Amino acid sequence: EAAVTQSPRSKVAVTGGKVTLSCHQTNNHDYMYWYRQDTGHGLRLIHYSYVADSTEKGDIPDGYKASRPSQENFSLILELASLSQTAVYFCASGTGGSQDTQYFGPGTRLLVL
Protein backbone atom coordinates (compact mmCIF):
# COMPACT_ATOMS: atom_id res chain seq x y z
CA GLU A 1 0.00 0.00 0.00
CA ALA A 2 1.37 3.36 -1.03
CA ALA A 3 2.18 5.60 1.88
CA VAL A 4 2.52 9.37 1.83
CA THR A 5 2.44 11.24 5.11
CA GLN A 6 2.34 14.95 5.77
CA SER A 7 3.06 17.10 8.79
CA PRO A 8 1.59 19.07 10.31
CA ARG A 9 -1.99 18.14 9.48
CA SER A 10 -3.12 21.63 10.26
CA LYS A 11 -1.43 24.89 11.05
CA VAL A 12 -2.27 28.46 11.88
CA ALA A 13 0.35 30.98 10.79
CA VAL A 14 0.67 34.74 10.97
CA THR A 15 1.06 36.92 7.94
CA GLY A 16 4.74 37.43 7.16
CA GLY A 17 5.83 34.38 9.09
CA LYS A 18 7.69 31.39 7.73
CA VAL A 19 5.86 28.11 7.26
CA THR A 20 7.35 24.75 6.39
CA LEU A 21 5.17 21.84 5.34
CA SER A 22 6.75 18.41 5.27
CA CYS A 23 6.02 15.32 3.23
CA HIS A 24 7.43 11.82 3.56
CA GLN A 25 6.88 8.85 1.27
CA THR A 26 7.83 5.23 1.66
CA ASN A 27 6.91 4.21 -1.90
CA ASN A 28 10.41 4.47 -3.31
CA HIS A 29 8.99 6.87 -5.90
CA ASP A 30 11.24 9.27 -7.77
CA TYR A 31 8.61 11.96 -8.27
CA MET A 32 7.04 14.06 -5.55
CA TYR A 33 4.57 16.88 -5.92
CA TRP A 34 3.03 19.72 -3.93
CA TYR A 35 -0.48 20.91 -4.75
CA ARG A 36 -2.81 23.39 -3.19
CA GLN A 37 -6.56 23.04 -3.09
CA ASP A 38 -8.90 25.99 -2.79
CA THR A 39 -12.66 25.91 -2.51
CA GLY A 40 -14.13 25.82 -5.98
CA HIS A 41 -10.86 24.80 -7.56
CA GLY A 42 -9.22 21.54 -8.29
CA LEU A 43 -5.69 20.87 -7.23
CA ARG A 44 -3.05 23.13 -8.68
CA LEU A 45 0.58 22.15 -8.92
CA ILE A 46 3.04 24.33 -6.99
CA HIS A 47 6.36 22.50 -7.23
CA TYR A 48 7.53 19.03 -8.05
CA SER A 49 10.75 17.05 -7.96
CA TYR A 50 12.02 13.99 -9.77
CA VAL A 51 15.31 13.55 -7.95
CA ALA A 52 16.83 14.47 -4.62
CA ASP A 53 18.40 17.93 -4.38
CA SER A 54 16.44 19.18 -7.36
CA THR A 55 13.05 20.84 -7.65
CA GLU A 56 10.95 22.17 -10.53
CA LYS A 57 8.34 24.89 -10.72
CA GLY A 58 4.77 23.88 -11.26
CA ASP A 59 1.90 26.04 -12.44
CA ILE A 60 1.66 28.37 -9.42
CA PRO A 61 5.15 28.58 -7.81
CA ASP A 62 5.11 32.24 -6.79
CA GLY A 63 5.47 32.69 -3.04
CA TYR A 64 6.63 29.12 -2.48
CA LYS A 65 9.93 27.31 -2.33
CA ALA A 66 10.51 23.59 -2.26
CA SER A 67 13.25 21.36 -0.95
CA ARG A 68 13.99 17.70 -1.69
CA PRO A 69 16.80 16.66 0.62
CA SER A 70 16.28 12.94 -0.03
CA GLN A 71 14.14 10.67 -2.16
CA GLU A 72 11.72 10.19 0.73
CA ASN A 73 11.27 13.80 1.83
CA PHE A 74 9.88 16.86 0.12
CA SER A 75 9.16 20.16 1.87
CA LEU A 76 7.17 23.19 0.88
CA ILE A 77 8.35 26.49 2.30
CA LEU A 78 6.43 29.73 2.58
CA GLU A 79 9.07 32.30 3.47
CA LEU A 80 6.58 35.13 4.01
CA ALA A 81 3.14 33.68 4.47
CA SER A 82 0.25 35.71 3.11
CA LEU A 83 -3.51 35.57 3.58
CA SER A 84 -3.92 34.30 0.03
CA GLN A 85 -1.95 31.18 0.89
CA THR A 86 -4.70 29.91 3.17
CA ALA A 87 -5.58 26.58 1.57
CA VAL A 88 -5.28 22.84 1.90
CA TYR A 89 -1.94 21.51 0.69
CA PHE A 90 -1.49 18.02 -0.67
CA CYS A 91 1.70 16.16 -1.28
CA ALA A 92 1.83 13.28 -3.73
CA SER A 93 4.36 10.79 -4.99
CA GLY A 94 4.59 8.83 -8.22
CA THR A 95 6.90 7.04 -10.58
CA GLY A 96 6.63 9.76 -13.24
CA GLY A 97 5.45 9.54 -16.83
CA SER A 98 2.08 10.28 -18.36
CA GLN A 99 0.49 7.05 -17.15
CA ASP A 100 1.73 7.46 -13.63
CA THR A 101 -0.76 7.20 -10.81
CA GLN A 102 -0.03 9.76 -8.14
CA TYR A 103 -0.57 8.78 -4.52
CA PHE A 104 -1.69 11.56 -2.26
CA GLY A 105 -1.01 12.35 1.36
CA PRO A 106 -3.77 13.29 3.82
CA GLY A 107 -3.33 17.02 3.30
CA THR A 108 -2.35 19.95 5.50
CA ARG A 109 -4.90 22.62 6.27
CA LEU A 110 -3.12 25.98 6.50
CA LEU A 111 -4.78 29.09 7.85
CA VAL A 112 -2.85 32.34 7.55
CA LEU A 113 -4.14 35.15 9.76
Partner 1 sequence: GEQVEQRPPHLSVREGDSAFITCTYTDPNSYYFFWYKQEPGASLQLLMKVFSSTEINEGQGFTVLLNKKDKRLSLNLTAAHPGDSAAYFCAVSASSGQKLVFGQGTILKVYL
Closer Cβ to partner 1, 24 or 94, answer by number? 94
Q: Which stretch binds partner 1 (CB under 8 A): 12-20, 44-52, 65-73, 77-85?
A: 44-52
Pick one of 1, 40, 53, 54: the residue that binds partner 1 (CB under 8 A): 40
Q: Distance (Å, rounded) from C-alpha 59 to C-alpha 78? A: 16
* CB atoms closer than 10 angstroms to residue 19: 21
Output the smallest distance, CB 93 to partner 1, in A.
12
Cβ atoms of 64 and 49 within 8 Å: the answer is no
Among 45, 65, 73, 77, binds partner 1 (CB under 8 A): 45
The values of phi and psi at residue 84, to 5°, are -70, -10
